[in-house]
Amino acid sequence: MHPPPPAPTGFPDDEGADDFVRMFRQALAPAERESLAYTPPLVILDVGDGGAEYDARVRRVVEALERASRNDQDRQTVPHALVRASKDSDLLSVTAARGLFFGLPKNMTPDRLPGFWPLSDSVSYIRNLGQGATAPGSQTLRDHAFDQLRLNRRQRHEGGPQVFLWALGGGDTSQVGGWRGFLLGVLWHRVTRTLPRWRWERRKTRRLMRPGVLARRRRQGWLGEALGMAEGSETVFEVMDEVADRQLPRLALPEGHPRHQESLVAFEKLLTRALLEDLADPPVGRRRPRRRRRTARPLLLVPIPRDGAPGGLAVERFLRAFQEERGHTAGRPGPLVVAVGRPSQRLLTALGGPTAIGFGQAGRLLSQSQPPAGPALVRLRDEPFGRDGIVVRHCLPRMFRLGGRAVATTAVTGISLFAVLLGVGAWRIVDDPDVSYECVGGTQTVAEGAGARIDVRATEWHQSVRNQINKENERVETTYAKRRTVRTVVAFVSDPPVGVDAIRFDGLIPELRGIALWQQELNDQAVNDPSLVPLLVDVRTTGESFGNAEAEAEKLVREVRDEAGRPAYERVVGILGFAQSRESTQAALKVLDRARIPLIGTTATADEMQNAARTSYWPFTPSNSTEAAVEAAFASRENIVVREGSETQCTPARHALVIESSADLYSRSLADKFTDDFPGTEPVFDYNQENQYGDGGPSVTMRTSSADTLTKQLCAALREQPDSVVYWSARAKDFSAFVNAMDRSGTCTDHDITVLGGNELTNVAQTGVFAEKDWLRLYYSAHRLPSTDAQASTKTKQFVRRYTAFVEDTTTGTDPWRQDGHSAVSYDAFHVLSQAVIEAFQADPTVSRANVLHSLQDGISFDGATGYVSYGADVNAPPVDKTLVLLRQVADQPEAVVACGAYQQGEDYRYQEQGVPCDAAG
């Protein structure tokens, strides 16, 4: 059977599409900056009814237009947001703001949205009040908005004075008595808590409510003018408290009630106006050179759900609010909003009943200085969707080599900087909560609170878990094989590492423990459930570091072809593997894929593994492209690198020192994708202790097999650029050698060094080998939350309890991998395969491998130890929005600092809904 032809792609080639696409790109990034003063109309692209193809049509048009906002390296060049709605109660102005704020092109003027966030946080607080609640009070709203701004560090890209008094004054003095408690309560907290909040509220009120105070600055006081309170004395949060008084009774009504909907409309209009005001184009000139750096127009792409689908009312509410509020603000440039889908007649009526026009006319409207009052409605014909369309080329607005901070600093240097800082800085040091230097996950290194190095009993523990699997196999053969359907799965693993230290760098033992746990659980449940299929596990080693994986795969294929004369329970219905992405395992996948043997991956993450087998391979963990995007956003936007001259304050990384092993598929792939996504400079060091190097991957600055040589190079780079993160994509064994060499040298360990690595480092990080390295701050990725984390699901905690009991019952000594994700990944991966076998058995008692593949293609979902697992139909890709966690290692205890994806079921756990850094991969 021939595979179906690929679906048509590109922007639909309807009449006039060329003109529209050209003007669309010019509207986003005009050749002359003055053209940004033009306010474009709301554009609605009606894709028609489309039937079953409706969603595909909308996605095709949106993806084609979204391409214009990125360059060939998939880096954003135009601020844009994909404004989706998952339910009717969403406020899409908030979704748009998050997308624009966290998706910033490199070195372009960022939109800080200083007026939007306080109002948005106030609205969120009001909406979250319970049934029968009363207005919370202006001080409560102010403190909530202030704390949200501070905790989320929304303005950290802007720089500014350090708010150290806030940090010192954040504690609770209610337990301190006597005169010290009096001084803390009356004096210190007034300076560090009350004063910053009061000053911040005054500034926001002056900006939003008082047009007469700073009349020279256009846009001052829009909120007061809009609410008719410009001459009053109310603060902005007193106004929001009055809004709460009016809206809370309406919010208490059911969501479908007209008055409840009126409340949502009021909030959407308020926040949309705030967003448009904050997106105003800053005037050019005077003493603020960053004002010149607006070279592109923000883009909002709004998919319209099919009629009656969830989120439809939210989209209509946002488009109506945008169309109405756009006429009330003088702010420029004004985002270009393009809605894609079939607008309802109700929406068109609310927008003034626009007349449909062609692509060519719509394109011309984008460049007119006086746009029409109504939206530009274009109805697309069905025929162009049946064939490939045109390519929307990338917009390339003017980009700046230096960040705005550097430009501003240079300009101000000649204007008596010392006097300005001396006179103004003392007052503003308690005035600006928009900047935080608080280190993500705290200031501790891996040595803090460290215990003794954990004694790993490699041979004993490996043999113990193999014995447990053999024990379960004997149980299956004895109890089930003679009277019910039993089948076999193969687990491809590497050879057991030789030596105590080697096992620290290999996830074999926790992986086998996860397999043994699920086999035991499946067999226990099969006692009382005849619909289940007990499974034998055939563990096959494939050489050191999977070196013989291809040969072992070919051997299995030959056995499968000759299985007709063997007992039914020995028939292989699927495979578990591989734990590592290497050229050898990639070649093995191709062999197994040609034989169409279902294979569920474990911790191999390279995209190249998935690309090598498109028929029967189902990876379980997020791919390197997802992981690299999240880690790049985390490194460049979160405070993880210790500031020069401080051990308690951190900033985002402006540079990355990337360590890869080019001969290793996993390492080369991860490094390549991280350098593509990271916005700063990233010299690459090719490090391999076996002196083996490969082709491809990012351009290399230096190759070496010596940890001492690597250490010298990195120390030199860190001295030159102390705001650098060391990004480690090489293997754990190489990392241990590097850490030891860095510690021996001691030439740059007087200052904490931040390392961010992939999940490969979990094997060694939790065994306590770095317990004495008090200069090492270590972050790395993993595939489940620690059981001690507040967000950890019930399933995760149940698994850890079972895992702990299993280890205590079968081994002696201290287990270092209780919080390691490898065991949970193999446990859940085996669950996926067994569920596919069960569904194949229910369809046909022969349990053919073809039916197992069909079961996988139909989609399998469950709540697992690693979070919610949901495979999409007909796509052999990792589970949708699969959990990815970034951990910070302190001694032998990991702590989660980022949790992306579906660690629980629901729309709120999608990558693109979770903000920085998760949405970078959404």
pLDDT tens by residue, 384-400:
999 999 999 888 776 65
pLDDT tens by residue, 772-818:
788 999 999 999 999 888 888 899 999 999 999 999 999 988 888 88
Average pLDDT over residues 163-172: 42
Please report which confidence band the pLDDT of residue 293 belongs to, taking 50, 70 and 90 as the band edges.
low
Q: Is the predicted pLDDT of residue 677 greater than 50, yes or no?
A: yes
pLDDT of 668: 93
User: CA separation (Å) from 363 to 334, 336, 388, 851?
Assistant: 17, 12, 21, 51
Q: Is the dihedral of CA 70, 75, 77, 80 positive or negative?
A: positive
Please give the share of the chain, as a percent, with pLDDT higher than 70: 82
Q: Is the predicted pLDDT of residue 206 greater than 50, yes or no?
A: yes
Task: Locate 133 and state its tokens.
Answer: 């609640």
pLDDT of 441: 87
Q: Is the predicted pLDDT of residue 281 greater than 90, yes or no?
A: no
pLDDT of 50: 80
The CA dihedral of 141, 143, 145, 148, to the nearest 10 degrees, is -140
Helices 359-366 and 17-28, axial angle in degrees (round to 10) = 20
640 and 702 Cβ atoms separated by less than 8 Å: no
pLDDT tens by residue, 405-435:
444 444 444 444 444 444 444 334 344 444 5
Please give the share of the chain, as a percent, with pLDDT higher than 90: 47
Task: Locate 418 and state its tokens.
Answer: 């010392």
Q: Is the dihedral of CA 761, 807, 897, 647 positive or negative?
A: negative
pLDDT tens by residue, 872-899:
765 678 999 999 999 998 876 788 999 9
Rounded Cα gap, residues 155 and 170, in angstroms: 20
The label of the residue with tokens 């829009």 reads 222
pLDDT tens by residue, 847-877:
999 999 999 988 999 999 999 999 976 567 8
Question: Is 389 strand, coil or helix?
Answer: coil
The H-or-E segment that residue 713 falls in is: helix 707-720
Least confident range from 223-237, 307-321, 514-528, 645-659: namely 223-237
Q: Is the predicted pLDDT of residue 579 greater than 80, yes or no?
A: yes
**The amino acid at 885:** V
pLDDT of 110: 53
pLDDT tens by residue, 295-315:
788 899 999 999 889 999 999
Q: Is the predicted pLDDT of residue 686 greater than 70, yes or no?
A: yes
pLDDT of 892: 65
pLDDT of 233: 62
pLDDT tens by residue, 707-753:
999 999 999 999 889 999 999 999 988 998 999 999 888 888 888 99
Please report which confidence band the pLDDT of residue 615 belongs to, taking 50, 70 and 90 as the band edges.
confident
pLDDT of 738: 92
DSSP β-ladder status, 884-890 and 893-900: antiparallel
Q: Is the predicted pLDDT of residue 763 greater than 60, yes or no?
A: yes
Rounded Cα gap, residues 101 and 110, in angstroms: 7
pLDDT of 435: 57
pLDDT of 406: 43
pLDDT tens by residue, 251-267:
999 988 999 999 999 99
378 and 362 Cβ atoms separated by less than 8 Å: yes
pLDDT tens by residue, 314-367:
999 999 999 988 877 645 567 899 999 999 999 999 999 999 999 999 998 887
Q: Is the predicted pLDDT of residue 214 greater than 70, yes or no?
A: no
Nearest Cα residue to 317 out of 255, 251, 272, 280: 272
pLDDT of 332: 57
Task: Locate 552 and state its tokens.
Answer: 């072992």
Nearest Cα residue to 3 out of 614, 490, 915, 569: 614
Mean pLDDT score across all residues of the chain: 83
pLDDT tens by residue, 433-454:
445 688 998 888 887 755 556 7
Q: Is the predicted pLDDT of residue 39 greater than 90, yes or no?
A: no
**The amino acid at 117:** W
pLDDT of 503: 65
pLDDT of 314: 94
Least confident range from 57-61, 561-565, 685-689: namely 561-565
